Amino acid sequence: AGMSARYHVTDVFAEAPYTGNQLATFLLAADIDDPEMQRIARAFNFAESTFVTGGSLADGFDVRIFTPAEELPFAGHPALGTAHLLREVMHPQASAITLNLGVGPIVVCFVPDDSGGVVAWMEQNPCSYGDELDRSAAARALGLEPGDVDASMPVQEVSTGLATVVVPLTSLAALRRIEPDNSAIREFLSAAAEAKNVLVVCREPYEAHQQVAARMFAPELGVTEDPATGSANGAFAGYILRHSYLGEGPVRAAIGQGYEIGRPSTLWLEAGAEGGAMRIRVGGRVATVAVGDWLPLMD
């Protein structure tokens, strides 16, 4: 019971209406308890829902992130979408918003572009590199032939706060052939140290303004396929940097994701070494698409 709570729905990494990854956000969630947050996230059934429990522009805003199945310490599209709303609704002139997440503070900056829009950019923690996994096991898990996996690049676990396994393929045709089998993917990921999702990529893009096509599967998180995954693509930026996946030098790339599930998305990546430290930024456009009132529940 209690008062109703206002929520917003955004599309993150969206270049046009009804694209990108959906997010539900409660900007005033101090009075919503943990079990209720989890129930609300399950009811929306988006990849994630976020809850702002307090904070300020000066000290950063305290944000909780829930999938339909569990709470996460960090995720990319929820960080961008939540920061966009905090700016749009509460601080329209802010050039940056800090979010206090489970992995620590994450800063989201807002950069105007030539078209009159704004791109939200998030700096992620430096990438850590885990084990390399078996290529033929990866192919089996995705229902592909071993030759569909790019032998010149590793299948590797990487993380900027939420681990993923990167599986590089030889062609867009192979990427499109995948029909995710949750149990097969779950079994493959059991060989990883901590990753609960797999990012499958190829250097043949969906659209001319992109460099890479990607698909993400996270059966452990209750997400069969995700339209746009900021955390996994941030870790992938570290992978690109280490393995010169798009050639030598700093990374500037646009990644297409979500095309097979009718939510085409574009994620912008920047990565490089600055002063001996790795810097990874993930950017995208965010659009607010709905506002509503979550009515008080009767127990």
Would you name the residues annotated as active-site residues?
48
Alpha-carbon distance values, 235 to 75, 162, 190 (Å): 11, 8, 19
166-196 burial, b at 16+ Cβ within 10 Å, e below that, comes to bbbbbebebbeebebbeebbbebbeebeebb
Q: 136 in helix, strand or coil?
A: helix
Taking the chain, what is the end-to-end CA distance rounded to the nearest angstrom? Answer: 7
Q: 240 in helix, strand or coil?
A: helix
Q: 173 in helix, strand or coil?
A: helix
- Residue 18 to residue 11: CA distance in whole angstroms: 7
Closest C-alpha to 192, from 164, 213, 170: 164
Alpha helix (H) ranges present in the chain? Answer: 34-44, 76-85, 135-141, 172-177, 182-189, 230-243
**Burial classification of residue 274, based on how many CB atoms lie within 10 Å of its CB (0-12 exposed, 13-18 middle, 19 or more buried):** exposed
The structure tokens listed for 195 are 């990753």
Closest C-alpha to 182, from 225, 232, 135: 225
Residue appearing with tokens 């990866």: 138
DSSP designation for 260: G
CA 94 to chain centre: 23
